[in-house]
Amino acid sequence: MTATDILKVSILGKESIHCGFHLLPHIAQTVLTTLPSSTYILVTDTNIANFHLNAFEKEFESALERLPSGAASKPRFLSHVIAPGETSKSREGKANVEDFLLLNRCTRDTVILALGGGVIGDLIGFVAATFMRGVRFVQIPTTLLGMVDSSVGGKTAIDTPLGKNLIGAFWQPEYIFIDAAFLETLPSREFSNGMAEVVKTAAIWNEAEFGSLESNSAEIFAAIQTPSENYAGRTKHTRSKAQELLLSVIVGSISVKAHIVTIDERETGLRNLVNFGHTIGHAIEAVLTPTVLHGECVSVGMILEAEVSRQMGILGQVGVGRLSRCLKAYNLPISLSDPRIASLPAAKLLTVDRLLDIMRVDKKNSGAEKKIVILSRIGATYEQKATVVQDSIIAKTLSEAAKVIPGVLKHDPVKMATPGSKSISNRALVLAALGKGTCRLSNLLHSDDTQVMMTALLELKGASFEWEDEGETLVVKGGEGALSVPPKGKEIYLGNAGTAARFLTTVCTLVQSSPVDNAPTTIITGNARMKQRPIGPLVTALQANGSAIEFLESEGCLPLSIAPNGLQGGNIQLAASVSSQYVSSILLCAPYALEPVTLDLIGGQVISQPYIDMTIAMMREFGVAVTRRVDPNTGAQLNMYDIPKATYVNPSVYSIESDASSATYPLAIAAITGTTCTIENIGSASLQGDARFAIEVLERMGCEVTQTAASTTVRGPAVGQLKAIEEVDMEVMTDAFLTATALAAVASGKTRILGIANQRVKECNRIRAMMDQLAKFGVETIELDDGLEIIGKPIKDLKRGVSVHCYDDHRVAMAFSVLSTVVEDTIIEEKRCVEKTWPNWWDDLENKIGLKVEGVDLASIAPKASASGTRSPDTSASVVVIGMRGSGKTFVGKAAASALSWTFLDADAFFEEKHKIGVRAFVHERGWSAFRTAETAILEELLREKAMNHVISLGGGVVEVPEARELLKQYAANRGPVVHLSRSLDEIVKYLNAETARPAYGEPIEDVFRRREPWFAECSSHNLVNHFGPNSMASEKGSRDEIARFFKHITGQQPNLAPNVAAGRRTYFLSLTYPDVTQAFPQIEQLSEGVDALELRVDLLRSSKDYELPGPVIPSESFVSDQVAALRNVTSLPIVFTVRTVSQGGAFPDAAEKEAFELLDLALRLGVEYVDVEVTLPTYHIRDLVARKGFSQIIASSHDWSGNMKWNGDLVKEQYEAAKQFGDIIKIVGKATSIQDNFHLYDFVSKASSLPQAKPIIAINMGIEGQMSRILNSMFSPVTHPLLPVKAAPGQLSFKQIQEALHLLGLLPTQRYYLFGTPIAHSMSPTLHNTGFEVLGLPHQYELLETSEVGEQIKATIAAPDFGGASVTIPYKLDIIPLLDELSPAAEAIGAVNTIIPQTTSSDGKSWKLYGDNSDWLGIRDSISAYVSSVDTALVIGAGGTSRAAIYALQALAAKTIYLHNRTTIKAQELACAFPDARIQVLDAIEQWPEGVAPPSVIISTVPAAAMTAASANNIFPLSNKLFEYRDGPAVVIDMAYKPAETPLLTLAAQAGEHWKTVPGLEVLLKQGYVQFEKWTGRRCPKHAVAPSVRSKYNGES
């Protein structure tokens, strides 16, 4: 046998764990010789079999050959391969293996070898435990998790549908062979998964081991990433250093577990310790499995449990920080906001309640109490077992938001230190690393930024680091400036750490050429954001000085390639107006240049001088004196520095000053709560600008401040007594402005803060952020060019219950937590963002300051009201219209009132009535201010008194008054819609020049516009863009239709939702994939054939200005508003508004979440009917949006492009549940790889839809294989059209294709439609309807049924199962009625039926009723309203059935007077009596309306054309020009006579003037036909195709 070096570990008294590399020969030899048997069975999974089975079979076969041939028969070696994955670990999986054993006649003496990960180990172990009452088995783990965890300890189990690992046994293996070479084929994610357990074991047991893991992650990864050739590692002398390290880590971890198992095999006490991270980790896993792996969940669990310990005051932040960094170094997630978790739909289900609920059934619990393993420091636990922890503590840790409970400060006077300064920490690391000797750094900040800096310095071999005092002290052994290029292929990764990137750029120039096996240059790089941040000026300066630096991607940004040439030195010129960090970078390295350096700062204003001073002061402490030059004549300081050649001399101890910006928070809390706080590590001698906050801000606000060189004490005035500061320049302490702003909010008076313009480009636009969030408290602010003003309010007047959004900015969170100490119920969302500079802020607030902090689960609180917030769904609440004067409020308001049948109210008119004086005169006499006061009072009265069924138009200036704005915001939030009507400045100016009725502005209109527009936006819940002017594309009718649609939708009077959804029909939307949708308009009719809605793919939009830009573009809000408005001009179909992100298959950048939500919010403001919201977006944003949706609907969507989601798996259930929480409609999109996937989909949808209160679900599979799902899907199937430039998704079909497919599948059987009447041979109806069917791909047929009476033939026809509907014409419109079950109100009133519609009455569609309707009147109504918007007086000629329809139509249009003339007057009088409400006046002669009254603007003739002529003597209806007397606006003549096309009436009308429009009978016929078509099929009739074919048939016949 080949020599193999084995490390043996003892467990339960036996040295049965054998560890090493390439152990196969050793395994075969050991098993065959020490476990004699007749049968050896190896079980593995297909993944592992691919790599390793062959070798095992060969080795065992040949070892069996070599066995001494004493025995009767040679033992057998059999192998059995099963499917990989957790699903094999089931009862069925176990039975399958058992059947294999039984079929192969295995007996009690069988030895089973479990070759695989934890799944194989657990399953095969359990099989071994019960097969023949227990057989021997051997564990050969192939995953890291298997090696360090599942194979050791004898726990075996299988899963059941009710839970994991619920059935199993303790069954110890004979051997555990740990062959670390298996890890070389293991996917790296699986390796990390195992590392979680390794880190865990070290964390609870062995600090030294933890230290080794902390500093060796790169080497450990390298060991599994480099294949070991020729069995390298099998023997000690062939083992690489990396292999040694890997093995020692594994063996170390196993030894701890083996030790614990040996003491407590059955898990009664000590063995609980290995459950560190598992209490919370398991709960997370229960929700996220199988997408997130066990180790990944445990990794997050460990951090959360460590935070529980920190919260209990047991573990320090140092411990939490070390644990976080270590897990991160092994690519493990450390929080639920890790994108790998947060982007999963199931992450939405991780609510605090749900997690606590799952933890309730943990095995470790005693009764109702939960137990958690509490760390006391790295390497030790608080107790030798799990500790009981209260639910409230766990809940607080798990909550994403925090709430401070105002009250007495328990620790007043407070004495504390804040965490180390980030700036000083980073400088100290560079200085100590470059210095000579050992330096002990204390109070180092434990954050990402410093971690990145340390890792980089290690990679450059510039220094070595070690932790002392349980991590409180970092021991740096300086490398005296010796640095080397990292190995080939190794880039220095800096994440988004700006300081590290700037400092290290110069540090890397110091590197000297290195040994041959290293790379030729050093490469530093960062994450995507870092690759956009500037570094150009620094690189330019270094290049000019002779350094060879190249930009590898974009000019001016990381990544950089830096040659190891050393830094030249001499004169260096640097532009320092962008960042002082460039200056510090060169200063820090300058002593190591080849020549002494003179640094000359050029290019104007030097930014942030205090930071440059800080660097120089710190260099002095490390033994290098920099001199700043002085102008010999004036004595003024110059921007020129001389740095000598030198080596830093490390002080033995360097205490890092606390962070002065952080210190502002506890000091401000003292100020606002009237208590005392001392910060122990910051005083007047501080290097940091923010140290001046106490004196320059707090003292001026009325605090007592005592500052020594090294400490600062603040005592606040009594609560509520803070004073505003008239003006303060915070240029030298910009980061502290947020703290000052929070205090100013409750100070008496107005505070003006200046010098902080740079805060707009920090983690967020901090000025805007503070203004927006303060507004939620009711605090007014005014933005200035380089600052802001805050108008303070008494604490009691601030709003309670505000939820503060923090923009992921630590300073926003901490500043508002100051305010929350006096304003009850303030919620700070995203509490974790403080981790950037003060990870334990919330714990310190409780433990050191003494205010109780609670966790808040945002998912469980009701959405908060905001200006456009939740409203009671009161559909009669009045609408308020606001906007600039000249924006069209009166026109739009009146049109809206008419559409809603509500009352229009002009606030100015109301004002005049009330004050008995015109607005203009009032202002003239009493001045603007009196007018504004009076106007606000009127507003208050209107909102109270006219709260229902009014459209109220307000004066443009109303928003100038803060109280009025507040009233409007309240109204919008709690009562009804406030609509901001906007119009471009140009158009307003044009309009106003022509208008003088109201007072003129005393200032340029542009200024008024700019000032008021933001207020209008802020006070309104909706926005209507006025595109209705004469220059717009919309016709007068189009404008009215759109105004009607908009107001009916937003008030809920008639939400513009797709009617087919409610009717239970299949529905479709067309995806418009244009960069500019107006390109679709020429063919919009064709494109929208058959569909129920149009999808606007906002992520694909690009204005002409952006057209050429490379990469993704975020369309501006104004462009998107214009696109929506333009679309509304050409269609009234509902719009589906979609901002599809890249990861969900669209083009919108994933990182631009904020912008995405701004657009979605815009959609709701614009009254868009359906808004698609991806479930992976942050929950708090989604909740906000849902709260504002009004009568629009949310489509909650999730897309899986990977093909991982299976419709019969667990993931889809999670997606469904997540979407169900907030979607009105659920959309799940998967990917099909076979047709079977569509059947699974169908099953899933059927089951989901049969649940009570099921929501509609859009379920489709992408790809060609998924086409079938698009056919079967019944809710909003996205369709394409042959005329579209590109399909929105692969596999999309057109509406027509889907109808044809449905027909072939038997899901859309042919229906027959008829025309009943006689004579009907020349009817146009068959052409009309059959063309429509054909164009839409519907399999139906329309035919003539000419009968001599309404008899048996018709009865049989309407009873046939394929009867789809019928048109009824003369002479059967009345005779048909007895055969019908029900009449529409119109048919009832008109007394005639022209349309029969079968309506199903049972859910299976097998029974139906016959419904009689009349569409003639709709044809007439639509013909009138196409030209005339409101009818005053009309004339109807004739008194037959058609004139009844005409009167009904005129009545519906609210005509004030209807003249009726008929040859026989008596018949006309009868008709008038039938419509008592229609205000009919019967005329004896056709033109004889009374003198002096308005002539008709609408004339409808219902008599045959032959009955009317202009000239003939014996005419019945003599016609003259007098008929067309009406001149005051548009007017219309409709001749219902169907032939000839040009009747005498129409001919005469055509001569009456431009304003008289004519409508021939054929057009009315078409219009009523469209209505019939839609009533029958639920589809809009494709007019663009139907009308020409009907006209051509008509013309051919006449």
117 is in an annotated binding site: yes
Separation CA 169–CA 160 (nearest Å): 15
* Residue 149 or 1432 with smaller CB distance to ligand NAD: 149
Tokens of 1089: 């054939």
Nearest residue to 850 via CA among 826, 821, 823, 830? 821
Task: Candidates 110-118, 306-314, 770-778, 1065-1073: pick the segment binding ligand NAD (CB under 6 A).
Answer: 110-118
Name the DSSP class of 864.
Answer: P
C-beta of 145 vs 972, nearer to ligand NAD: 145
Residue 102: Cβ within 10 Å count: 11
Under the binding rule (CB under 6 A), the answer on residue 253 touching ligand NAD is no
Catalytically annotated residue among 22, 52, 94, 282? 282
CB of 42 to ligand NAD, least distance (A): 14
Nearest residue (beta carbon) to ligand NAD: 118
By beta-carbon proximity to ligand NAD, the closer residue of 258 and 814 is 258
Q: Is 173 in the site for ligand NAD (CB under 6 A)?
A: no
Q: Which amino acid, residue 1445?
A: A
Nearest to 1172 by CA among 1149, 1152, 1199: 1199
Q: Does 134 belong to an annotated binding site?
A: no
1006 is written with which tokens? 């542009």
How far is the CA of 1221 from the CAs of 348, 870, 1254, in angstroms? 9, 17, 12
How far apart CA 400 and CA 820 sit, in angstroms, is 17
Backbone dihedral region for residue 469 (phi beyond 0: left; psi -120 to 50: alpha; all else: beta): left
Closer to ligand NAD by CB, 278 or 422: give it. 278
Pick out residues in 86-105 that bind ligand NAD (CB under 6 A). 86, 89
**With binding defined as CB under 6 A, does residue 276 bind ligand NAD?**
no
Q: What is the x/- site pattern for ligand NAD, positions 1249-1288, by CB under 6 A?
A: ----------------------------------------
1555 is catalytic: no
Distance from C-alpha of 803 to C-alpha of 825, rounded to nearest angstrom: 8
Identify which of 784, 734, 726, 785 has the alpha carbon closest to the alpha carbon of residue 756: 734
Of 179-187, 481-489, 970-978, 1207-1215, the window that binds ligand NAD (rule: CB under 6 A) is 179-187
- Paired with 476 in beta bridges are 439, 465
Both tokens assigned to 582: 């460039």
Question: Which 1556-1575 positions form the footprint of ligand NAD (CB under 6 A)?
Answer: none
DSSP 537-606: HHHHHHHHTT--EEESSSTTSS-EEE-SB---EEEEEEE-SS-HHHHHHHHHHGGGSSEEEEEEEESS--
Stretch that binds ligand NAD, among 143-151, 312-320, 1238-1246, 1317-1325 (CB under 6 A): 143-151
Active site residue 267: yes
Q: Active-site residue among 776, 805, 1199, 1567? A: 1199
Instruction: Tell whether residue 289 is a contact of ligand NAD (CB under 6 A).
Output: no
Regarding 809 and contact with ligand NAD (CB under 6 A), the answer is no
- The residue count for binding ligand NAD (CB under 6 A) is 30
Cβ-based nearer residue to ligand NAD, 190 or 846: 190
Give the shortest CB-88-to-ligand NAD separation in angstroms.
8
Per CB under 6 A, 122 contacts ligand NAD: yes
Cα-based distances in Å from 520 to 492, 493, 560: 14, 17, 13
Please indicate if the annotation marks 916 as binding a ligand: no
Name the CA dihedral angle for 1128, 1133, 1139, 1141, rounded to a multiple of 10 degrees: -140
Residue 1343 in tokens? 């035919």
Binding status of residue 150 toward ligand NAD by CB under 6 A: yes
Contact range with ligand NAD by CB under 6 A, out of 178-186, 311-319, 637-645, 1509-1517: 178-186
* Nearer residue to ligand NAD within complex by CB, 148 or 771: 148
Structural tokens at position 1410? 């016959």
Q: How far apart, in whole angstroms, are the C-alpha atoms of residue 1241 and residue 1239?
A: 5
Pattern 43-72, binding to ligand NAD, x per CB under 6 A? --x-xx--x---------------------
Catalytic option among 364, 396, 1227, 1240? 1227
142 versus 387: smaller Cβ distance to ligand NAD: 142
Say whether residue 119 binds ligand NAD (CB under 6 A). yes
Q: Please name the residue that has the structure tokens 């000249």.
A: 886
Interface residue with ligand NAD among 21, 82, 101, 116 (CB under 6 A) is: 116
Q: What are phi and psi of 76, to 5 degrees?
A: -95, 150
Q: Which of 25, 84, 437, 1391 binds ligand NAD (CB under 6 A)?
A: 84
Catalytic residue among 98, 219, 267, 763: 267
Assess 170 for contact with ligand NAD (CB under 6 A).
no
Pair 1022, 1167: CB distance under 8 Å: yes
Query: Does the active-site annotation cover 1199?
Result: yes
Segment near ligand NAD (CB under 6 A); pick from 118-126, 453-461, 674-682, 1114-1122: 118-126
> Residue holding tokens 């205000």?
1479
Q: Among 20, 146, 564, 1561, which residue interacts with ligand NAD (rule: CB under 6 A)?
A: 146
Q: Is 887 annotated as ligand-binding?
A: yes
CA dist 1299 and 1297 (Å) reads: 5
Q: Which of residues 81 and 563 has its CB atom nearest to ligand NAD in the complex?
A: 81
CB of 155 to ligand NAD, least distance (A): 4
Task: Assess 145 for contact with ligand NAD (CB under 6 A).
Answer: yes
Q: Which is nearer to ligand NAD, 182 or 611 (CB)?
A: 182
User: What are the angstrom distances between the C-alpha of 1475 and each of 138, 1424, 1453?
Assistant: 96, 20, 14
Q: Which stretch binds ligand NAD (CB under 6 A): 117-125, 848-856, 991-999, 1261-1269?
A: 117-125
For ligand NAD, the binding residues in 1064-1093 under the rule CB under 6 A are none
Binding of ligand NAD by 219 (CB under 6 A): no
Query: With respect to ligand NAD, which residue has the nearer C-beta, 196 or 895?
Result: 196
Q: 919 by DSSP, 3-state: which?
A: helix
* Cβ neighbours, 10 Å, residue 794: 10
Q: Does 142 bind ligand NAD (CB under 6 A)?
A: yes
137, 182, 205, 622: which one binds ligand NAD (CB under 6 A): 182
* Interface stretch with ligand NAD, choices 183-191, 267-275, 370-378, 745-753 (CB under 6 A): 183-191
Q: Which of 1483, 1482, 1469, 1436 is nearest to 1455 (CA)?
A: 1436
1210 binds ligand NAD (CB under 6 A): no
Look up residue 221 and give its two tokens: 């990864």
1227 is catalytic: yes
403 labelled catalytic: no
Residue 1046 makes CB contacts below 8 A (sequence gap 6+) with 896, 1024, 1128, 1167
Measure the N-to-C terminal CA separation of the chain; round to a whole number of Å.
Answer: 106
Ligand-binding annotation for 712, yes or no, is no
CB neighbour class for 426 (10 Å; exposed up to 12, middle 13-18, buried from 19): buried
Q: What are the angstrom distances between the C-alpha of 1304 and each of 394, 1279, 1300, 1307, 1373? A: 58, 18, 6, 7, 36
Residues making up the binding site for ATP:
883-890
Residues making up the binding site:
45-47, 86-89, 117-119, 122, 133, 142-143, 149, 155, 164-165, 182-185, 193, 197-200, 257, 271-275, 278, 294, 363, 883-890
Residues with catalytic annotation? 267, 282, 833, 1199, 1227
Residues making up the binding site for NAD(+):
45-47, 86-89, 117-119, 122, 142-143, 164, 182-185, 193
Residues making up the binding site for Zn(2+):
197, 278, 294
Give the footprint of ligand NAD on this chain (CB under 6 A): 45, 47-48, 51, 84-86, 89, 116-120, 122, 142-143, 145-146, 149-150, 153, 155, 164-165, 182, 185-186, 190, 193, 294
